[in-house]
Structure 1
Amino acid sequence: MELFWIPLAAFVIDAIFADPSFFPHPVQLIGRFLDKLEKKARKNFSNRLGGVLSLLILLLLVFIIVNTCISIPYAGWVFALYFAWSGLALGSLLNEGTKAVQAVSSGSLKEGRKAVSMLVSRDVSECSEDELYKTLAETLSENFNDGIIAPFFWLVLSGPVGLWLYKATSTMDSMWGYKNEKWIDLGWAGAKFDDLLAYLPARFSAMFLQSTANLAGLGSGRGVWNSVAQDAAKMESPNAGWPMAMVAHLYGNPMGGRAVYFGKEKQKPVLGSGNTVWDKHSLVQLIKHIRLAAIFGCGLLWLVVSLLRLVF
């Protein structure tokens, strides 16, 4: 019964109230633990082995904590609802995205750059207004999967424990998964496991965006799937390109190109076609579109998995 009602309740609470602010967010706690684990891993093992062991330790610890909390008699459902709610990020993503769009459109590049920098790991200190809008479109699209569809997918399949095993892996990948000399080996295990866990959800996220294109005022979205698949294959990640490429093709505004990470310029694959640019109007439309796609996609996942449980 908990697997039946908790995902829906958590989705509604998250959409309305966003992340709970009355308690340190579990992702923050995982981040602090990873900072300490990094030092131990680098000191005692080779980077590749240290990364593998760190991932195993992290997943075991998360499994024990979440499973123990939700198994407490009578109060377990409260912990289960909390872990489900805090593992979803629809409310926070849309709230922070809206604030960033407003900051960029306010006319102050300084304020716009500051707001966008809070949402991305790249350096946006030299970005123009158009580049800030494009950066926002990219991070909103990618996080539609990472922060909403993928965690909800694992929540409906395996409850709060499965959700937080995914979130722990995703957090490790976001902190250690950079493909540079410092992180390439230590972050290898987390990045590969994250690729595996997000493989199906990433493709579902593109499907849900396409399915709700008409509701978002973008037309039917038919005929773009092959182009999206070709563009997604250009990305280093086997998953990130799917929602990003779908958004780029549906909106007719390309993504990718020049980006700066840790002081080094990088040319990312260009997704989509055309020469139009992202602006305030298209970002506002994208935020509304993501909300629609999240409602449709999470509702469909919940319905399908619930029916399968009844049948089997």
Structure 2
Amino acid sequence: MIELEYQILIAILLDQLFGDPRWLPHPVRIIGAACTWCERITRALLPPLAAGISSVILVLALTGATTWGMIAGATLLHPWLGTAASIVILYTTIATRDLVRHSTEVYVALQNGNLPEARKRVGMIVGRDTANLDQAGVTRAAVESVAESMVDGVTAPLFFALLGGPVGAMLYKAVNTMDSMFGYKNAQYRKFGWAAARLDDLANFIPARLTSLMIPAASFPLRLDPKRSLLTLLRDRFAHASPNSGHTEAAVAGALGVQLGGPNSYFGTVLEKPTIGDPTRPLEPQDILRANRLMLLASALTLLVCLALRWHIIILLPALFS
């Protein structure tokens, strides 16, 4: 058997080599189908708030049981097959390579002077309207996407993998998927999506803050601005609708020396949002690549810190009482 830490490292390597495994039924799509099914069943039986809470419990139960059952079944056939199943499941929860690939495609389109293509590409990774964005708007959208997604696409799955193995990582993906499907603040989902949104906030609380602290540290070897990154993090971390996303966004904005946030259009309606960071210089396409490098190094540092914490808790703490 391979220790969990090494399984996670192998999963990260697989993600770097192959990206999103299109040859596998992606767990997020399966979880999404489960969310739709649970919503339909619970809404028919319960009032919105209770239905939403019930859906969260059902989706988590189905996700946890299915993940555990797949690994247990594979292990019964052969222990190494169980280890392989565990690694593959961990691999599917990490999205580092795809995050870099999608954002880099936006950069390439901008560098080629193809603004319509850049708008199309960035529209694949953000929820705002992109049809009328200028170059700076496209760049801002891509940088913000990288800054936010480094938590839910990279560091949070790794954090929960170290806490609870493949089951923990997959349960986190279920929470994140439910928030993306139910966590709207409109009339349809305000009550139904309350539980999913609050659980997602709770799940990302530690990973977002830990990752944001690693961004100033990663800024130093990348020759960015670690001091401004830390100061902007402390000042602007709550200038965001999400209690978690603003942390990494503020740290990235400070490191790059640019301003993020501000007005965005959603379904034709402009929504004014607070700005994050200072406009010490205008945004440029190269900021997308800088954000990617920052995301990769900050994620690696976050993983190292989590591994160190796990080692101290699991190995050293029992030794103190032995």
Match of 2:139 among 133, 141, 150: 133
Work out whether 1:90 is the aligned partner of 2:96.
yes
User: 8 Å contact 1:109–1:129 — kept in the other structure?
Assistant: yes
Match of 1:265, SS state, is: strand
Residues 77-86 or 173-182, more deviating: 173-182
Deviation at 1:275, TM superposition (A): 5.0
Distance 1:176 1:276 in 2: 37
Distance 2:35 2:267 in 1: 20
User: 8 Å contact 1:244–1:271 — kept in the other structure?
Assistant: yes
Residues 178-187 or 243-252, more deviating: 178-187
Work out whether 1:304 is the aligned partner of 2:299.
no
Q: How does 1:270-285 map to 2 (within 5 A)?
A: 270-274=275-279, 276-285=281-290
Deviation at 1:227, TM superposition (A): 3.6
User: 8 Å contact 1:4–1:306 — kept in the other structure?
Assistant: no
Deviation at 1:300, TM superposition (A): 2.8
User: 8 Å contact 1:134–1:277 — kept in the other structure?
Assistant: no
Match of 1:276, SS state, is: coil
The answer for the alignment partner of 1:292 in structure 2 is 297
Q: How does 1:1-312 map to 2 (within 5 A)?
A: 1-72=2-73, 73=75, 74=78, 75-219=81-225, 221-222=226-227, 224-274=229-279, 276-311=281-316, 312=318
User: 8 Å contact 1:234–1:269 — kept in the other structure?
Assistant: yes
List per-residue Cα deviations over 1:239-264 (Å, max 9, x = no partner).
Answer: 01000010111111111111122332
Cα separation, partners in 2 of 1:38 and 1:215, compared to 1, 3 Å: same
Runs of 4 or more above 4 Å deviation? none
Match of 1:253, SS state, is: coil
Amino acid at match of 1:260: S
Gaps of 5+ in 2: none
Cα separation, partners in 2 of 1:125 and 1:40, compared to 1, 3 Å: farther
Calculate the TM-score normalised by the size of structure 2. 0.92
Calculate the TM-score normalised by the size of structure 1. 0.95
Gaps of 5+ in 1: none
User: 8 Å contact 1:254–1:274 — kept in the other structure?
Assistant: yes
User: 8 Å contact 1:255–1:270 — kept in the other structure?
Assistant: yes
Q: What percentage of residue pairs aligned between the two structures are identical?
A: 29
Match of 1:99, SS state, is: helix
List per-residue Cα deviations over 1:74-104 (Å, max 9, x = no partner).
Answer: 2211111011110011111111111122123
Residues 178-187 or 195-204, more deviating: 178-187
Residues 21-30 or 37-46, more deviating: 37-46
Distance 1:43 1:277 in 2: 51
CA RMSD across the alignment = 1.6
User: 8 Å contact 2:228–2:255 — kept in the other structure?
Assistant: no
Distance 1:79 1:168 in 2: 18
Paired residues, number: 311
Distance 2:102 2:63 in 1: 27
